[in-house]
Structure 1
Amino acid sequence: MAALEIELFNCRSDNFGVLLHDPVTGATASIDAPEEKPILDALAQRGWHLSHILTTHHHGDHVEANLALKERFGVTIIGPARESPRIPGIDRGVDEGDSFDFAGHPVEVISTPGHTAGHICFHFPEDNLLFAADTLFALGCGRLFEGTPAEMWNSLSKLARLPEETEVYFGHEYTLSNARFAVTVDPENAELAQRAAEIEKLRAAGRPTAPTTIGLEKRTNPFLRAADPAIRKHLGIETASDAEVFGEIRARKDRF
């Protein structure tokens, strides 16, 4: 099994576009479809032909180009079963515990409600890849538009249990704002402080902050660190549940 090739590019104002290509079969998947032209440009640059769209959730900035790309390429669209009526062109709905094959590469579906009620993530266990969209960001997580803090904490906890070397691709370039917030919640974390400084330099140079890894997020992302005693002490909620601490961090980020 050959290694998958990945093309990362910008879409819209702050979305990431991601193409996933198997060099043996030629199969190419777009992780979500935020905007048609940047996806077409990336395909042309690499000489790839789109065969799949793997949709994570129903928000317009993740499904806008579904129908145009389906008409052009005849792609198969796989997405969240619980949001199927809101996923344009969907062919197959999947949910927690489902798995499927992408060009010989196993794909596991992880249900991650919180940002939306039916959000899913795609885990490629043999490739050490996770496509987390708007559930887990570098140093952040998605806003709770349709779910509760407890639901999102449970979703993030699932992702945190994946192997630490897992590479994580996420839906938006929010990392600079996330970093500036994170240090206000976890000010004694030396690795976080160093990472925040590196992110400032990356963004000043116009370079992307994706991908990250599960291990790096567990050490530096406050949204995965609700159990950390230093964060709890800093927030003044040392006896709260992990979900309650997470909820407080999310509420503070919403006001940041």
Structure 2
Amino acid sequence: MVKPDSRPGQDEPAWWFIISSGDILVVDDSHRLPCAAMQDLPLPDLTDYAVAFIGELRERPCYLVVADHQDPNFAAVGEFVNLRLLIAQQDEAMFAVAARAKQVAEFMLTHRFCGRCGVRMQAVDWEMAMQCQQCQHRCYPRISPCIIVAITRGDDILLARGKRHPAGLYSVLAGFVESGESLEQTLHREVLEEAGITVKNIQYVASQPWPFPHSLMMGFTAEWDSGDLHIDPIELEEGYWFPLTELPTIPPPGTIAHRLIAAVKKRHGVD
């Protein structure tokens, strides 16, 4: 982490990930992020803001700036939008750094005071951590592991609509890993709880950081093994077996859910 008074990116072009209440600042309607030297941007004095170096993107350093809620001091740079809008750009590298920025901002805001003794925490300047100088308790950004799985039965795929999904949008099943569980155990439990079925032939596909607020999605495919479909009304609105050739509205490209559905379609020879 870096201190605000170190003036990162003063003379060299840098990417600026400015986060406010979970939203991110973009410079235009195409949702481009600021990329310029500090002196070339109408940024406020960053001395009063939490700033952190969060890596590199396309050979440029990336800096997180944690702003206040819809901070008017950044109005001359751009506007704050929901981070999900960046998914539409289908720029996985950009979204990955933006996801890291949002998660680190959440970490910094929720660890200002020590959870053990209550004293104000201080940023560790050589790693991404917050430490209490009184009891030496050190915290790192939280990551919540989740499984997400595309389940097929013959040439059909199981898709469901969660309570938070927009009307008409269906996706694959997902759930958080509980203490003491392996990923495979989580997958079997979540599928049984949410759909009332058992699965077999589990295969890992890919993972994706999902900063809402700090998840790591680990994607799998699986095949139906037994049981009739019984959708959990607490977690889901509805769910059905859909032919792979007649899918409803699904999550957009750039999401791991879309990638899993595409992998299943390819495996079954469906365009």
Q: TM-score under structure 1 normalisation?
A: 0.29
Higher helix share: 1
Rg larger for: 2
TM-score between the two structures when normalised by the length of structure 2: 0.28
Higher strand share: 2
